[in-house]
Amino acid sequence: MTSSLAHFRPFPEAPALILEYLAERSAEEAVVDTPSPWDLGALPVELVEPMPAWLDAVCRWLNTRYAWQPQDVIPPCWAEHEGLAYDIAALAFARGYAYADAGASVIWHEQYDRFLTRMNKSLGKAGDDCRAGRHEERPARFLLAAWPASSEADDEGPDVVTEQAVGRHS
């Protein structure tokens, strides 16, 4: 008799470089405070490079196993939505920790449900187009131009604001 669970596929394993980073980070002798691997913007380039392929595999796995309704599908352009990419990374790492304990896995599923709510709220009506492979730049981007250029030399989005503001005032 063939098991009815034989078709279940495992969750995609994180890249070796990331697993090594996690091991070093959690080692007792670790004295350097390093960024969490799910904080994509804080990671060094060598750790960011393997992330897109793994997170894409995670999204495909989640879509295949859990997305039974259109609003539950993570769009293929997930990486173009910065907030969504951060959320997916955190969710992917949290799943690894959650399945060490049955109760924690139930909590992870609740987190996944909250992730879907945040995803749909942030994508709004554009989510339907994104899910159909018709991604466009952030619909509300023009609203960001209302923010004055930052007086500090930071790179948290003011590039877009500055470019738009410059284009508007040229």
Q: Give CA–CA dist 88/55, Å, rounded.
A: 7
> What is the reported pTM?
0.79
- In this prediction, residue 161 carries a pLDDT of 40
Q: Helices 102-123 and 82-98: crossing angle, nearest 10°?
A: 170
Residue 168 banded pLDDT, cuts 50, 70, 90: very low
pLDDT in tens, 43-66: 999 999 999 999 999 999 999 999
pLDDT at 166: 37
CA separation for the pair 150, 161 (Å, rounded) = 9
Give the per-residue pLDDT at 29: 62
Please tell me what DSSP assigns to residue 3. -
Instruction: Reply yes or no on whether the pLDDT at 18 is more than 50.
Output: yes
Mean of all residue pLDDT scores within the chain: 84
Tell me: pLDDT of 154 over 60.
Answer: no
Q: How high is the pLDDT of residue 86? A: 97
